[in-house]
Amino acid sequence: MSTITGLMAAIADTGRDERRGGYSRAVYTDAEQDLREWFTAEASARGLAVETDANGILWAWWDLHDGGTRLPESSRRGALVTGSHLDSVPGGGAFDGPLGVASALAAVDLLRRREESGALHRNRALAVAVFPEEEGSRFGVACLGSRLLAGAIDPAKALRLRDADGNTFADVSRAHGLDPDRMGRDEAALGRIGDFVELHVEQGRGLNSAEFTDHAGRGPAVAVGSSVLGHGRWRISVTGQGNHAGTTLMEDRADPMVAAAQIVLAVRKLAAAVPGARATVGRLEPVPGGTNVIASRVDLWLDVRHPEDAVVADLVERLHGQAQKIAAFEGCSAQLFEESYSGTVHFDAALARSLEHSVRRTVPGAPVLATGAGHDAGVLASVVPTGMLFVRNPTGISHSPEEFVEDDDAEAGVVALADALEDLL
């Protein structure tokens, strides 16, 4: 069976984005479908039983056996589940998502060898899960698959979400063989998850920070996750007067783009004054969007994060007030709409201790780190015991083509994941 490096190499050309650089693998596009097919083939080649559930989550089951007989599906209750996602942000890196999926497959290979040699005796089934639309880059709500599974989003709201071309999530799901009427909290599927462990590329400078690096300036290969910052997405809609770029005098304009530019600056200024806060405008859409047209409306999408939910709420409220003031000064108006919010999550303490103990056998200095990135693990933590492992990213950059993982660290991640799973099986 392939090494983690071989598995990642096999998908290195899928979904490359020549225009943006990196990868664009939005959910249910050809690129993401190709990755799902790759996963299905790799899992099947390992004898895992692959299924797609009502919410579009892929499950690859390594069932328990009695002699040569596979135990019935009821033996999947309380299974150990690992996995991640295969979709990406526009122009994203190679590792955010796929590293967790490929590492899970490679860990299954290691565990199977340990089982065959008699070193491992499993008490429960293991599944590898692949969650759709983790990034929310197509339909706007991150972790859409895990939210549906956990009942963390009203399915009616999810089904009404639209992509940039106006297609609803309901229609796109239907076109991919799913039944929208069956989507939503899935008690049977939740009952099959005893514990969930997600391995993920580290997305900041966490493992490279001075407190963890050795004399050569190299950080440990793996960390254990402690918590996820509270984070959410809001749309600020700034409305003005659409008009002609050549005939409208500067003093006669109500230009929402000019207000939007000042709102972006206000976001940075207000957030920079709050220790630990992160606020970003990463997407902005002028309507109708013509070079010789003063826009009639500009939509800005705001991403705000902080370890304390109350601080996020306060910051967003102040940003809203500031946006309204700026808009009024420019003869425009501004409205704020919440698109999604995920409160601060602390991973299961007992599971985190177990992960620390297992990982430190091969990565002695493995630290415990919080993450500023959102994850399906963060959503599942509200319904099942959940934990995370992070693999060192030497660039400290993510959601960008510069995101990176060295082969040795990826191998260390697989061993750490396999050891952690073995201790929980």
Q: Which residues bind ligand GLV (CB under 6 A)?
A: 135, 142, 373-374
Q: Is 256 in the site for Mn ion (CB under 5 A)?
A: no
Closer residue to ligand GLV, CB minimum distance, 233 or 253: 233
**Minimum CB–partner distance for residue 202 and ligand GLV (Å):** 12
**Minimum CB–partner distance for residue 374 and ligand GLV (Å):** 4
**Minimum CB–partner distance for residue 25 and Mn ion (Å):** 11
**Minimum CB–partner distance for residue 200 and Mn ion (Å):** 6
Phi/psi of residue 320, each to 5°? Answer: -60, -50
Site string for Mn ion, 268-307 (x = CB under 5 A): ----------------------------------------
Torsion sign over Cα 310, 224, 395, 105: negative
Residue where the block lists tokens 């929310």: 136
Q: Cα separation of 23 and 95, whole Å?
A: 10
Closer residue to ligand GLV, CB minimum distance, 36 or 375: 375
Per-residue HEC secondary structure of 339-353 comes to: EEEECCEECCHHHHH
Phi/psi of residue 390, each to 5°? Answer: -120, 135
Closer residue to ligand GLV, CB minimum distance, 223 or 373: 373
**Minimum CB–partner distance for residue 370 and ligand GLV (Å):** 13
| Residue showing the smallest CB distance to Mn ion in the complex | 96
Closer residue to ligand GLV, CB minimum distance, 54 or 379: 379
Residue 188 region by backbone torsions, left for phi larger than 0, else alpha for psi between -120 and 50, else beta:
alpha
**Minimum CB–partner distance for residue 203 and Mn ion (Å):** 7
Q: What is the dihedral of CA 14, 18, 20, 22, to 10 degrees?
A: 40
Q: Which does 97 bind (CB under 5 to 8 A by kind): Mn ion, ligand GLV, none?
A: Mn ion
Q: Which does 132 bind (CB under 5 to 8 A by kind): Mn ion, ligand GLV, none?
A: none
Q: Is 96 in the site for Mn ion (CB under 5 A)?
A: yes
Closer residue to ligand GLV, CB minimum distance, 144 or 373: 373
**Minimum CB–partner distance for residue 404 and Mn ion (Å):** 14
Phi/psi of residue 305, each to 5°? Answer: -140, 150
With 0-12 / 13-18 / 19 or more C-beta atoms within 10 angstroms meaning exposed / middle / buried, residue 292 is exposed
The amino acid sitting at 190 is: L
**Minimum CB–partner distance for residue 27 and Mn ion (Å):** 13
Check if the beta carbon of residue 109 is closer than 8 Å to that of residue 420.
no
Nearest to 257 by CA among 294, 225, 232, 283: 294
Q: Is 374 in the site for Mn ion (CB under 5 A)?
A: yes
Closer residue to Mn ion, CB minimum distance, 73 or 402: 402
Q: How far apart are the first and last CA of the chain?
A: 22
# binding residues, Mn ion (CB under 5 A): 4
Q: Is 206 in the site for Mn ion (CB under 5 A)?
A: no
**Number of other CB atoms surrounding residue 102 within 10 Å:** 31
**Cα angle for residues 255, 259, 261 (degrees, 5° grid):** 115
Closer residue to Mn ion, CB minimum distance, 322 or 340: 340
Q: Is 97 in the site for Mn ion (CB under 5 A)?
A: yes
- Residue 212, CA distances (Å) to 44, 220, 225, 298 in order: 39, 7, 15, 44
Q: Which two tokens stand for residue 247?
A: 């005939």
Site for Mn ion in 2-61 (CB under 5 A): none
Closer residue to ligand GLV, CB minimum distance, 333 or 395: 395
Please report, as ranges, the residues that interact with Mn ion according to CB under 5 A.
Answer: 96-97, 373-374
